[in-house]
Amino acid sequence: MNSDTSVNVLYVDDEVHNLNAFKASFRRKFNVFIANSAVEGRKVLEAEDIHVIVTDQRMPVTTGIEFLESIIPDFPDPIRILLTGYADINAVIDAINKGQVYRYIQKPWMEDDLRINIEKAFELYTLRKDNRDLTASLIVANEKLENLLRMGTDF
């Protein structure tokens, strides 16, 4: 990964020691934003350009999957990673189907594994953004060509 690129990562977890551990582990590699609830996570998303979201599944009030599903209409672009200390196949299925989760990782996380997955998630984010930008440029170029053809201009 290019070290000149700033990756904005949001980590949502209701456990303060997990938030602190995540920030301490990854603050030198990424721009880390933390939130202790889904509500706080949404506030961060509204204020910052987040590329990757990492969220705990088991939180009071709103689960990680519910949080990820709820933000899709307003924040469809960030790549999502779900963390949990519980092996629940239904949560995995829901995460993929409802929350558009890129990776499902069990707690406690292995620092190198999580770092690599965040880097790969950012690569996917960048590829999707570049694809959207190129598609938009192609649409504009096609419209210009169609206008020239309509005007009967020779190439």
Those residues whose C-beta lies under 8 Å from the C-beta of residue 151, and which sit 6 or more positions away, are: none
pLDDT at 120: 97
pLDDT tens string, the chain, 155 residues long: the values are: 544 459 999 999 999 999 999 999 999 999 999 999 999 999 999 999 999 999 999 899 999 999 999 999 999 999 999 998 776 667 677 767 777 889 989 888 999 999 999 999 999 999 999 999 999 999 999 999 998 888 886 55
Q: Is the Cβ–Cβ distance between 97 and 145 less than 8 Å?
A: no
> Cis link prior to 60 (omega < 30° from 0)?
no
Domain extent for 46 = 8-150
CATH number at residue 29: 3.40.50.2300
Domain total in the chain = 1
Domain-embedded: residue 2: no
Give pTM, 2 decimals.
0.85
